[in-house]
Amino acid sequence: MIVLVQATVLTVGLNGRNEIIRELPVRLITMQSGLAAARSLKNEKVNSVISRWDLKDMPDGKFLKTLRAAKPYIPTIAFVRPGNKTQEVAARALGVSAVLTEDAGDDTFRDTLANLLGLKGDVAIRAISPAENIKELMRER
Structural domains present in the chain: 7-140 (3.40.50.2300)
The conformation of residue 15, written as its DSSP 8-state character, comes to G
pLDDT value at position 2? 52
- Percent with pLDDT over 90 in the chain: 62
pLDDT digits (tens, 9 = 90+) for 78-101: 999 999 999 999 999 999 999 999
Residues in Cβ contact with 77 at an 8 Å cutoff, skipping those fewer than 6 apart: 48, 49, 50, 51, 96, 97, 98, 99, 100, 112, 113, 116
> pTM score > 0.85 for this model?
no
What per-residue confidence (pLDDT) applies to 140?
Answer: 43
What is the distance between the alpha carbons of residues 104 and 1, in angstroms, rounded to a whole number? 28
